[in-house]
Structure formats: structure tokens, C-alpha cells
């Protein structure tokens, strides 16, 4: 019997951590679909990867995770080309220092980082073989530790801290990973939902910050606390590939302040473990999308 090619989707694969995750998956023999908003940058990244690994199977496909119709279009195109999916890396993320909304008038970071991936997962999950090697990996952040889900203020209009929307969105990613794992388990599925965070890395996430602020940051903070994108990708690749991973686990760097160091199990807040919050977030996400996300047995 002919062996089926292992297939992965990585969102935001054209730069930073997503690029290195893609690179790591290619080295493990996966065919990778780079799901990216900026096709010009994505195709340049594809050329770089193929220069290094010319025999790799690598595709670029357009997706804007802040735009629900773009996500649905990506899923339709993907399903027209492929009959299975082994690993979905929900990596793409945005960080803004000023309020911003998407086309549906939703706070952009929540819409992109959480809600877009929630919808994408719902549209592709049934393509995943029922095996513990099938993984949905959701990227959270250390920022989750200073957040809660503001169910009465999901657009963060009443929040005073500039990074509250980002922190909320990354907490949502972690809660989603947990609730998805519970639903997979209840449905009798072997597919695993896990979470990871990259620690501290100047991966392009800060590109929307003021230039002077970033210059100071790169001279002071970056050398002390941040590690390379290649190192930052290791917890994500561990979550995606290692055989002893359990559903619901959360991986990250284990060194200084969890900003860098060897990958391992990450620390998390008590709030982020609350099943009632995760369940409510799932229901709110369905309501915001106007359609259910049911995990079928």
C-alpha cells in the first residue's frame, strides 16, 4: 500500500516563528501549505525554503484570518486539493498598540488570533485522521497570564491597558485548545489539541509598534530576554511532533522567565484552566460566527 504523504497547514508561515515551524515540518518530511495573508512575502519565503530543501513539497495559499469569508475561501480551496490533514498549526497573530477593528467591526486581535483560527479549525477538523499523531496546535503567549475573557466587553472598549486586547486573544487561544481537547475526548477521537507559546522573540509581531520604541527595545530588551525564531519554534514543533504528547498540554521555553530555553511543559494561570470560562468562550465564538462548531464522533 502506498504511504500517504503527511500534510500540515501553518498559518502565518511566511516569517518569524511560522517560517521556522514550516522549516521544521519540511525537515520531518511533511508537505506544508503556507496559509498567509501577504502572498508576495509568502512566495519569497517559499523560494528561500526550497533553496535550502529543493525536494520539499510546499504550497502557498491566501488567507486573511481577520476576514471570515477569506477563511471559508481558503478552506474550500484546501478541500478541493486535499483529502486529509495531519497537523494544523494555528500560528498567525497580530499585535497592535492602538484600537483596530475588522470588517465585521470586531476587535482585530481577538478576531485574528482567536476567532479566525476557531473558524479555520472547524472547517478542516473532519479531514484529520483519527490518530494521536493528528494535532491541532494553538499558539498562546506569556501575555495570557495578565488577562481574562471580557465577556461583557469582548472588543475591550472599556479596558485601560493598551495590551489588554492582545492578552485576551492569546488567553482565548489557550482556552480554545483546552475546550477542543475536551470535545475531541467526549467524541471518542484520538486527534489531539495542544497549545504552545514561543517565549520571547522579535518575530515581526511588533512591526506595528512605533519605530523609536522598537529601536530602544532591540538595543535593551531583545539581547537579554529574547531568543531566535528557530529556538522559539521548538515548543511548537514539540507539541506537533513528539510521540508522548497528551491532549490539553501546553508547551513553551523552560528557561529564564519562560522567555527562552529548552522546550517543555509551560506554566499557566488558574483562570486559564477554568472549564466554565472555556465553554462560555466556545459558545460566544459560535455566536459571533453565526454557526456552530460541533466535534462529530
Answer yes or no: CATH 3.20.20.70 is held by domain 7-288. Answer: no
User: Strands 7-11, 87-90: parallel, antiparallel or unpaired by DSSP?
Assistant: parallel
How many Cβ atoms sit within 10 Å of the Cβ of residue 151? 10
Is 61 in a helix, a strand, or coil? strand
- Of 143, 61, 137, 135, the C-alpha closest to 110 is 143
Identify the pLDDT of residue 221.
Answer: 47
Q: Catalytic annotation on 150?
A: no
Q: Name the active-site residue from 19, 150, 166, 271.
A: 166
Identify the pLDDT of residue 257.
Answer: 81
pLDDT string in tens for the chain (297-residue length): 457 899 999 999 999 999 999 999 999 999 999 999 999 999 999 999 999 999 999 999 999 999 999 999 999 999 999 999 999 999 999 999 888 999 999 999 999 999 999 999 999 999 999 999 999 999 999 999 999 999 999 999 999 999 999 999 999 999 999 999 999 999 999 999 999 999 877 655 455 556 665 555 555 545 555 758 888 999 999 999 999 999 999 999 998 888 888 999 999 999 999 999 999 999 999 999 999 999 988
8 A C-beta contact, residue 247 and residue 190 = no
How far is residue 152 from each of residues 7, 26, 170, 208, 246, measured CA to CA in Å? 39, 43, 18, 27, 33
d(CA 267, CA 250): 8
Identify the pLDDT of residue 256.
Answer: 81
d(CA 116, CA 138): 12
d(CA 123, CA 143): 28
Domain boundaries, the chain: 7-288
Digit-coded pLDDT (tens) for 205-242:
455 556 665 555 555 545 555 758 888 999 999 999 99
8 A C-beta contact, residue 42 and residue 74 = no
pTM: 0.92
Identify the pLDDT of residue 201.
Answer: 75
Element housing 11 (H / E): strand 7-11
Digit-coded pLDDT (tens) for 35-77:
999 999 999 999 999 999 999 999 999 999 999 999 999 999 9
Identify the pLDDT of residue 237.
Answer: 98
What are the counts of helices (DSSP H) followed by strands (DSSP E) for the chain?
10, 8
- Of 62, 56, 55, the C-alpha closest to 12 is 62
Amino acid at each position: 500500500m502506498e504511504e500517504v504523504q503527511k500534510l500540515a497547514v501553518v498559518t502565518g508561515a511566511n516569517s518569524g516563528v511560522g517560517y521556522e515551524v514550516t522549516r521544521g515540518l519540511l525537515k520531518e518530511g511533511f508537505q506544508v501549505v503556507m496559509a498567509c495573508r501577504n502572498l508576495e512575502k509568502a512566495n519569497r519565503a517559499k523560494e528561500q525554503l526550497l533553496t535550502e530543501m529543493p525536494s520539499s513539497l510546499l504550497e502557498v495559499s491566501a488567507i486573511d484570518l481577520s476576514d471570515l469569508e477569506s477563511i471559508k475561501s481558503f478552506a474550500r480551496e484546501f478541500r478541493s486539493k486535499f483529502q486529509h490533514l495531519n497537523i494544523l498549526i494555528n500560528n498567525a497573530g497580530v499585535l497592535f498598540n492602538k484600537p483596530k477593528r475588522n470588517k465585521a467591526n470586531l476587535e482585530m486581535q481577538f478576531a485574528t488570533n482567536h476567532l479566525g483560527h476557531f473558524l479555520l479549525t472547524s472547517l478542516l477538523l473532519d479531514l484529520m485522521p483519527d490518530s494521536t499523531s493528528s494535532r491541532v496546535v494553538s499558539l498562546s503567549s506569556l501575555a495570557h497570564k495578565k488577562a481574562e475573557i471580557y465577556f461583557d466587553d469582548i472588543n475591550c472598549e472599556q479596558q485601560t491597558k493598551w495590551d489588554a486586547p492582545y492578552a485576551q486573544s492569546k488567553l482565548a487561544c489557550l482556552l480554545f485548545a483546552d475546550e477542543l481537547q475536551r470535545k475531541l475526548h467526549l467524541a471518542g477521537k484520538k486527534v489531539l489539541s495542544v497549545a504552545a507559546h514561543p517565549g520571547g522573540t522579535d518575530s515581526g509581531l511588533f512591526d506595528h509598534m512605533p519605530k523609536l520604541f522598537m529601536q530602544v527595545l532591540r538595543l535593551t530588551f531583545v539581547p537579554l530576554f529574547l531568543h531566535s525564531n528557530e529556538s522559539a519554534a521548538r515548543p511548537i514543533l514539540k507539541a506537533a511532533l513528539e510521540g508522548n504528547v497528551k491532549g490539553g498540554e501546553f508547551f513553551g521555553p523552560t528557561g529564564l522567565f519562560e522567555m527562552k530555553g529548552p522546550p517543555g511543559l509551560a506554566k499557566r494561570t488558574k483562570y486559564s484552566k477554568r472549564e466554565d470560562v472555556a465553554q462560555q468562550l466556545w459558545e460566544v465564538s459560535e455566536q459571533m460566527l453565526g454557526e456552530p462548531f460541533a466535534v462529530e464522533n
